[in-house]
Copies of this chain bind each other. A is one copy, B any other.
Amino acid sequence: MQWDNKFATRTELMGRSTIREILKVTAQPDIISFAGGLPAPELFPVDRFRQMSDEVLSEQGSIALQYSPTEGMLELRELIAGRLSGNGLTISSDNVLIVSGSQQGLDLLGRILLDDKDSIIVENPTYLGMLMAWKTYYLNYFSTPTDVDGMQVNALPELLAQHPKLAYIVPNFQNPGGNTLSLERRYELVKLLAEYQVPLIEDNAYGELCYDGEPLPSLLQLDAQHMERNEVDGGHVIYLGTFSKILSPGMRVGWIVADTNVIDKLVQAKQSADLHTSTLNQYLTYAVAKDGFLDGHIEKIRDVYRERRDVMIAAMEEHFPEEVTFSRPIGGLFLLVTAPEGVNTTELLEEAIKQKVAFVPGADFHIGGSGANTFRLNFSNAKPEQIRTGIERLGTLLKTSKKA
């Protein structure tokens, strides 16, 4: 049969993810890859996983291998609710839905919130996984400029007045920019949400990976504070989180915190999408995280990634030409490099791969055609020595491309 003419109309908007296609090329072991958002595999707590999978299967095997409720395992939802409570906000497990990674969180949120041709507010540049999740909705993006303090919220009133369906933000150590929304802007943002009654999705995939200073309060917490509520219900913020960066992305366990009306709709969407997230993985994630293990483990990750970030920045200062600028994130996994106007980083990548080093060109993260001279670097996956070597190679390339 000829399949070409059998597909749904909206598949015209689909395409393979640039990043995942680059990742295939860079899977060769001799390539130094700054391309993915992969955690350092040597930090996975493999022994703890072994011990706990034995415990879970011994003690609860027939439950862990069976179907389970769409909402997710209660103890895991309670653990998440407890971790995210604070600054006057007490989160109930009823406000937590377990999802199969935060990519699924974005997909489900699209299903329950987005109609075709809706307008949404995003940072520019913004997270590619979100663009990918929602690409079949023919969306109109209201893009907001960003700087070192994150989304420029003073640009928002004009956009909010045009009734966008929602706003989407990565407030901490943004992907790809590496910037963090300042406390002042957080206050301003939650004030605007209350004024314009626009839902905000706070995607906090990296929030726990803070390397300098104390983490800032979440928008979920500040919105509740602003509304003088001590609970999630009634608030404007939908919060997305994941265990991918703090335990293991291969488990595909993430969560959404939201008003129970939103959770109810999400549960309906998730029943249709995959019934529920793997029971075993939920039990295993809970068992691995419990008894304070997770906090200790996050400390270890922070120490390793902090060093890698420092090594990368030092190497860039040494090897990159002066005209090339870059962000200096206080957490997370990524930083964004800006080459002089006219440098095409998609072409640069081809050269880089010949030199056995890879990154993600910035154009795909940007709305409206900008960013062709930018690229994203990941500093969590490669080891310090590889980072130094890779950055030196990129520096040499950038000096050449500059002259071209």
Contacts and interface: CB of A to CB of B under 8 A. Distances in A.
Interface in A208-263: 234-236, 244, 248-252, 259, 261-262
Nearest to A247: B65
A84 interface: no
Nearest to A131: B272
A275 B250 contact: no
Given A261-B4, A273-B103, A62 B41 contact: yes
A112 B49 contact: no
Nearest to A283: B250
Given A275-B252, A281-B278, A113 B67 contact: no
A15 interface: yes
A111 B8 contact: yes
Nearest to A114: B8
Contacts of A165: 6
A63 B248 CA distance: 10
Interface in A130-144: 132-133, 135-136
Contacts of A58: 46, 50
Contact of A281 (B1, B129, B249, B280): B280
A114 B10 CA distance: 9
Interface string A1-31: 1111011111100111100100110000000
A304 interface: no
Contacts of A36: 67
Given A6-B199, A197-B1, A132 B62 contact: no
B16 A268 contact: yes
Contact of A61 (B11, B24, B46): B46
A99 to B, nearest CB: 8
Interface in A249-308: 249-252, 259, 261-262, 265, 267-269, 271-281
A135 B62 CA distance: 32
Q: State how many copies of this chain the complex holds.
A: 2
Which of A1, A2, A136, A277 is most buried by chain B, counting CB atoms within 10 A of its CB? Answer: A1
A274 B8 contact: no
Contacts of A348: none
Interface string A104-131: 1001000111110000000000000100
Nearest to A244: B67
A251 B236 contact: no
Which of A7, A44, A271 is most buried by chain B, counting CB atoms within 10 A of its CB? Answer: A271
Which of A54, A57, A61, A67 is most buried by chain B, counting CB atoms within 10 A of its CB? Answer: A67
A129 B54 CA distance: 33
Given A133-B272, A250-B278, 13 more contacts: A4-B261, A6-B165, A6-B199, A7-B265, A9-B115, A11-B111, A11-B269, A20-B271, A41-B66, A68-B250, A100-B274, A252-B276, A281-B281
Nearest first, the 3 closest Cβ-Cβ pairs linking A and B are A250-B279, A46-B61, A41-B62
10 contacts: A1-B259, A3-B261, A4-B261, A6-B113, A9-B115, A15-B268, A20-B69, A41-B63, A103-B273, A103-B275
